[in-house]
């Protein structure tokens, strides 16, 4: 009872001490009316910063699996060879905007999964515009989709990004939880994709086990007859989904220290 009273007092004072925070959204994206004759999925890969995972990229080229790749300006700068491979296969790769510096488009809390957030709409605008300019400079094509770092957004940021003319790229199947899962787990999750799923995974972490599992899962999915599509080629539906706090739970009072640990989207 003492804790409940403490919380009530803190909330009344506007202190919002624990998980009582403004709600952010993690939009869910799916393919509308996928081809009934084949399991149809959209593979989306984030290149946040860091390196190029050739276990993934080379397999996509060898097996002719299309992917929509979200790159940051940071990744573009440090991965000229990886970018050249993407650009050499326009039939396979759609290149979209993952921001200038991999900053979450969140204005209401200071950090998401350990990443410092934009913190203001001005900073969101700069992050989105900087990433878009970098993609356009690198490819000659203006991006149409935006995905921020962590795939989580504050509602004002969602409105701002849409006002800038970009569609927000959510997902429906998180294959690797920020490249943090072990290979067999990632392979199992990918191979279990349902028709209409938009899969999110990473192609910038060659040192982690997740990439090996991603490659294996995609091979299995293809062998099972799945059809891979690019986001630009299909009609999609985006839903904001249930509101979540930074701790990944409903906006209700929680005990201090009780927040579940979530993998950082790297």
Contact footprint for Zn ion (CB under 5 A): 46, 48, 149
Backbone torsion region of residue 225, taken as left when φ is above 0, otherwise alpha when ψ lies between -120 and 50, otherwise beta: left
Pairing of strands 198-202, 173-174: parallel
**32-38 long-range CB contacts below 8 Å, 24 or more apart?**
32/196, 32/234, 32/235, 32/236, 32/237, 33/235, 34/195, 34/196, 34/234, 35/195, 35/227, 38/195, 38/225, 38/226, 38/227
Q: How far is the CB of 102 from Zn ion (least distance, A)?
A: 6
Q: What share of the chain is helix, strand, coil (3-state, %, to 5)?
A: 35, 20, 45
In the complex, least distance from residue 240 CB atom to Zn ion, rounded to whole angstroms: 20
Minimum distance of Zn ion from residue 145's CB (angstroms): 14
Joined together, the tokens standing for residue 209 give 């086990």
Tokens representing residue 17 in the block = 């001490």
d(CA 102, CA 39): 32
The tokens for 185 are: 């787990």
Residue 202 host element (H or E)? strand 198-202
Nearer CB in complex with Zn ion: 103/221: 103
Closest to Zn ion by CB, 171 or 228: 171
Closer residue to Zn ion in complex, CB, 143/196: 143
Closest CB to Zn ion among residues 204, 236 = 204
Residue 32 C-beta: closest distance to Zn ion, Å: 25
CB of 75 to Zn ion, least distance (A): 9
Looking at residue 112, the DSSP 8-state letter turns out to be: E
Strands (E), 82-154: 93-97, 111-112, 115-116, 145-146, 153-154
| 196 token code pair | 């209409």
Question: Measured from the CB of residue 48, what is the shortest distance to Zn ion in angstroms?
Answer: 3
CB of 205 to Zn ion, least distance (A): 10
* Beta carbon nearer to Zn ion, 48 or 226: 48
Which residue's C-beta sits nearest to Zn ion? Answer: 48
Closest to Zn ion by CB, 149 or 229:
149
- Residue of 172, 12, 146, 183 whose CA lies nearest to 70: 146
Taking the least distance from each CB to Zn ion, the nearer of 48 and 95 is 48
């Amino acid at each position: 009872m003492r804790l409940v009273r403490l919380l009530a007092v803190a909330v009344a004072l506007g202190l919002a001490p624990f998980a009582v925070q403004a709600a952010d959204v993690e939009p869910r994206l799916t393919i509308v009316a996928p081809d009934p004759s084949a399991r149809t999925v959209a593979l989306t890969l984030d290149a946040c910063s860091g390196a190029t995972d050739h276990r993934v990229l080379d397999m996509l080229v060898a097996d002719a699996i299309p992917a929509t790749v979200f790159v940051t300006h940071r990744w573009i700068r440090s991965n000229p060879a990886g970018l050249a491979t993407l650009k050499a296969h326009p039939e396979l790769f759609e290149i979209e905007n993952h921001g200038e510096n991999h900053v979450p488009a969140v204005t209401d809390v200071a950090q998401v999964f350990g990443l410092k957030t934009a913190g203001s709409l001005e900073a969101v605008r700069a992050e989105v515009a900087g990433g878009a300019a970098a993609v356009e400079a690198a490819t000659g094509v203006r991006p149409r989709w935006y995905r921020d770092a962590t795939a989580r957004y504050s509602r004002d940021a969602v409105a701002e990004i849409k006002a800038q003319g970009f569609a927000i790229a959510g997902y429906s199947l998180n294959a690797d939880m920020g490249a943090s899962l072990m290979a067999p787990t990632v392979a199992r999750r990918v191979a279990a994709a349902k028709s209409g799923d938009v899969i999110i995974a990473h192609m910038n972490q060659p040192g982690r086990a997740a990439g090996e599992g991603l490659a294996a899962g995609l091979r299995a999915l293809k062998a099972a007859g799945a059809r891979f599509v690019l986001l630009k080629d299909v009609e999609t539906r985006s839903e904001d989904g249930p509101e979540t706090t930074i701790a990944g739970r409903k906006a209700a009072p929680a005990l201090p220290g009780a927040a579940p640990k979530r993998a950082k989207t790297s």
